[in-house]
Structure 1
Amino acid sequence: MEFRRLGRSGLNISEISYGNWLTHGSQVEEEQALACVRAALDAGITTFDTADVYANTKAEAVLGRALKDERRESVEVFTKVFWPTGPGGPNDKGLGRKHIHESIDGSLKRLQTDYVDLYQAHRFDQTVPLEETMLAFADVVRQGKALYIGVSEWNADQIARGAALARELKVPFISNQPQYSMLWRIIESQVVPTSEREGLSQIVWSPIAQGVLTGKYLPGQPVPEGSRATDENGAKMISRFLKDDVLEKVQKLRPIADEAGLSLAQLAVAWVLQNPNVASAIIGASRPEQVHENVKAAGVKLETELLDRIDEVLGDSVQTDPRFTITP
């Protein structure tokens, strides 16, 4: 495993991190989830990402149990706040001061820790003054409940506004967590340049495009049983990629992966890590062997000629429009 600095900070994180969005507490039984976390630790992953909304708080609890016997200083634990949790009361969502402070306390209890290394705004909240949100995050940091703050799926303007307030409040604002893959490159034109200027790195999710870039989805064929495409939560996200022309192009990446000595999934993870503003790629897993497979992308350097060939194969199947940044 190799490590990268997160933003303009002193925090080192593993360039491949482990996330439990659609697995812990829902798709995968706890014993299997614990085995996946153990596999991640054995592979050298030290960075673990979750959120209070995943499986309506259950994912945090599973991760807390999985890491409880680890030396706390040896791992980096990230979580997020924004989406509705709990019974669904009027203040059980968003980035208002009340919800942020109640949410961090709930997350820490479930994660069985005194602090998280990074606390992230899971989306931008159009209904709450940004000043209120950033002040609440600053207070969380000053209380020692989080070391750093970050965001997820904020656009370039929102990141710049948040960074300006963070400087004023003297709080370390160091990361954005967007979707990013060979097929989904909407952060490249605006978010990445703004982040570089403001001192943020990207911690990217879905580097294998919800599994499409593994090559297991074949044009003209039914989706595999038990795959992400058959999951209620994952099906909507993956549907944009399940088009025969896209799937045909993915199959044409196989010779490129073979030439690089990589599987298609490893090639996809290695591809996002070629972007110098990406500090880490989040992988998920329902089986330990998936972890062992994907971590082999760590430290891989792809030649410019190979990257150009990937672009040529994928062509107009690549989405680059920043207007597709996910909003609530």
Structure 2
Amino acid sequence: MRRIVESRVEKREAGTALLDWLQARFRYCDRGTWAAFIDEGRLKVGGERRDAAFVLSASDTVAFSPPGNLEPEVDTGYRILFRDEDLLVVDKPSSLPCHPGGRFFERTLWSLLKSGYGPTHIATRLDRETSGLVLIGRNPAAARRIQEAQEGGRIRKRYLVLVHGKVGWEEWTARGILVRDGNSVVRKKRAFIEGGEAGEAGPGEYCETAFAVAARAERFTLLEATLATGRTHQIRATLRSSGWPVVGDKLYGLDEGLFLRFAAGSLSAEDTELLRLGGQALHSASLSFDDAAGIPVTVSAPPPWSGELGGFGFAALPDDYYFSIESRSTSNTRMELAGMTSPAPWSP
């Protein structure tokens, strides 16, 4: 069965030729590749084949039937850290998307889990290059319970994020709005504007993030982040707009040109050196929730880049972030997970 991906033409994009629209909006293929897909009949507008010069109108639906070899290689090495009859907690690697979208379908966490566990419901999704803990419902009833717990603030997540710069504060609660970054050529990039309160009318989405310093080095800071709201790119956009770019982040790091060159498959050796890490240094490190029996559980896992932090001038990873499960059913005793060992402490 052929997979079909549909996208809607926005009002501001009306009047654009089909090929120009594809090249500008979906940068994971170059212009020549999109032209070939059009010629092969893989693109339809309103259910009809169109040529490259066809002029799009607002609200047109463009359908794309991608070839099976379009998906790039990703790290599929996820780990199950917690499992009961209703829930899974997965440690997701950087580069693995949670859900199908764009050029990704089979190489997604959702698809990989489906082959082993049947249909699942990813409740606490992460951006593709964000690593770490994801809470998953194994059935519709569990998914509804997770959603209710999220809405009631009963699921708690802590992130670790490494940023450029040595911050001068110990704690900071960032309250403001997220809007489209008008200075960026990347459609999905967002900017954070500090100020405002929840429920206020106006443009953008209100967001709130609590940051605390976990460790400082000469030119970098390791932060803990806790979300009060769950907006797209919330942590990354807030930090970048406030002067602390995320290490290894192609979009919210030192230069968004890295993202454009990555999408075009043209990252240079100098780009790789500037990024310093293979993925962005944002990691979902701790997840607290109630299990199927209503017993509170906290799962923790270190970031995949913990072994490289010595090169940034840090001396030790906070002890809270090694592999562990804590539960009242085990008298809050910290447990090493079967078959896994905590990373050895590293030094500068």
TM-score tier, shorter chain, comes to under 0.3
Name the one with the larger helix percent: 1
TM-score, normalised to structure 1, is: 0.23
Which structure has the greater CA radius of gyration?
A: 2
Q: Which has the higher contact order (CA 8 A, sep 6+)?
A: 1
TM-score, normalised to structure 2, is: 0.22
